[in-house]
Amino acid sequence: MRGDAFTWLARGMIWMAGVGLLVLLMVSGVATPLDDALYDAHAQFWGYTPSNDVVIVAIDAKSLDAIGRFPWPRSVYAQLIDRLTADGVRGIGMDITLSTPESDNPGNDQLLAQAMQRSGKVVMPVFAEARTLGGPLEEALPVSPIAEHVAALGQVDVAKDADERVRGAYLKAGLGSAYWPSLALALQQLGKPDSTAPLPGMRDPSHDDASPYLWMRDNYVMLRYAGPAGTFGRLSYTDVLNDNVPASLLKGRWVLIGATAQGLGDIFQTPQSPMPGVEYQANVLESLERGMLVTPINFLGQFALAAAMLIPPLLLYGTRALRRNWQLLAVTVALVLLMCLGLLRVFYLWWPPVACLIVVAVEFAAWSVLTRHAQPSA
């Protein structure tokens, strides 16, 4: 009887100590690099073939040779937008910053604005910057009159993790509150501005209580990248501009315009390869269209699931059916990993499992030590 009482007391003490250790690991973020490495390793085997719905019109080396050194006159963008409009594209996302007037020919701003007005399907970027060193952040919008004639504006904030890798995206962001949709989301919502469908992603609990000078982010999602850079179809800017591309390759499709030439534009490190910003936007847009965005489970959800996973092995350690506790440890580790994989693959939920795995291993060691010392007096 005393042996049974000791066994149950040991189980309870180990579980409570494990829960405390779990909280410390989660709050400290010690396990985060290993969780990120696990997500990255899985991403290598979770790619997919993109649909033909998203096309990149690339500012590539060929286009620079044909049109000239960047930045280009905005009349060149106006010509491309008229070309895409004539080909019947579904929407146009320009991953290009135009926050200052064109100095050489200010009339080109008006030409571009008129082309955007004729299209009615152009989305332009918004971003935050400090105009003076150490000054407050301000939102940089496209220059007027361009901003007055775009169909929508979308923020291009990039969600970099501590290791500088980009595993996700914020679907909403803005100064003071997250009211700007991402560029990809703004493009996807063209034609359905009254959509009330809830957005996926992990919410920011402080999104309604922030300084108007802080850049706020909300609806964080992790991406299932289609593959490394170059996975999405690309058409050279100059080929589209000169009508060397069949209209059938563009009709009814989303078009993203951005730089892919080496040394031009932003390059982000993803779990699979360095990637130009325009292809990052293509991954976000494709995932939105196909419902493949991954929502991280929040802190309380992570904790509750991990704490629950600690209970079964403690209940089974020392039972007659399982004489070898190390086998139960191996099975538990496998179940934790399968739980993580199942939530990700089936429900598109990300549960970081490494903190739970560490506590499972520590509990196994603690159980072995306690029961070994208790055997002579049992």
- Round to whole Å and give the CA distance between 26 and 23: 5
pLDDT at 162 over 50: yes
265 & 349 share domain: no
**In this predicted structure, what is the pLDDT of residue 376?**
47
141 & 229 share domain: yes
Q: pLDDT-derived band of residue 6, with 50, 70 and 90 as boundaries?
A: low
Rg for the chain, CA atoms, rounded: 26
220 & 348 share domain: no
Report the number of distinct structural domains present in the chain.
2
**In this predicted structure, what is the pLDDT of residue 200?**
92
322 & 336 share domain: yes
What pTM does this model have? Answer: 0.91
13 & 63 share domain: no
**342: Cβ contacts below 8 Å, ≥ 6 apart:** none
**In this predicted structure, what is the pLDDT of residue 11?**
78
Q: If you average pLDDT over every residue of the chain, what do you get?
A: 90
Across residues 91-109, what is the average pLDDT? 92
Across residues 314-324, what is the average pLDDT? 63
Enclosing H/E stretch for 3:
helix 2-28
Among 77, 146, 137, 84, smallest CA distance to 110 is for 146
Domain boundary among 273, 290, 307: 290
**In this predicted structure, what is the pLDDT of residue 104?**
83
Query: Does 370 fall in a domain?
Result: yes
Torsion sign, CA atoms 23, 24, 27, 29: negative
300 & 156 share domain: no
Structure tokens at 280: 């990052």
Query: Does 61 fall in a domain?
Result: yes
**In this predicted structure, what is the pLDDT of residue 206?**
66
Enclosing H/E stretch for 57:
strand 54-59
**In this predicted structure, what is the pLDDT of residue 57?**
98
Domain boundary among 290, 320, 338: 290
CA distance readout (Å), 273 to 40, 60, 80, 155, 357: 11, 18, 29, 23, 28
**In this predicted structure, what is the pLDDT of residue 197?**
77
Query: Does 256 fall in a domain?
Result: yes
* Helix count and strand count (H, E) for the chain: 13, 15
36 & 165 share domain: no
99 & 228 share domain: yes
91 & 208 share domain: yes
pLDDT at 377 over 50: no
- By the 10 Å C-beta count (0-12 exposed, 13-18 middle, 19+ buried), 259 is classed as buried
Query: Does 240 fall in a domain?
Result: yes
If DSSP codes are grouped into helix, strand and coil, which group holds residue 183? helix
131 & 173 share domain: yes
CA distance readout (Å), 267 to 67, 226, 258, 262: 22, 17, 11, 9
95 & 188 share domain: yes
Q: pLDDT-derived band of residue 166, with 50, 70 and 90 as boundaries?
A: very high
Among 4-8, 152-156, 185-189, 250-254, the minimum mean pLDDT is found in 4-8
Question: Which residues constitute the domain of residue 20?
Answer: 2-44+295-374
Q: pLDDT-derived band of residue 7, with 50, 70 and 90 as boundaries?
A: confident
- By the 10 Å C-beta count (0-12 exposed, 13-18 middle, 19+ buried), 325 is classed as middle
Tell me which amino acid residue 216 is. Answer: M
Domain boundary among 255, 290, 325: 290
pLDDT at 123 over 80: yes
* pLDDT tens profile 228-278: 999 999 999 999 999 999 999 999 999 999 999 998 888 999 999 999 999
**Bigger pLDDT: 14 vs 322:** 14
Report the relative pairing of strands 254-259 and 54-59 from DSSP bridges: parallel
Query: Does 49 fall in a domain?
Result: no
Structure tokens at 45: 């085997």
61 & 36 share domain: no
Phi, psi at 60, each rounded to 5°: -105, 180
**281: Cβ contacts below 8 Å, ≥ 6 apart:** 93, 95, 156, 183, 184, 256, 258
Query: Does 78 fall in a domain?
Result: yes
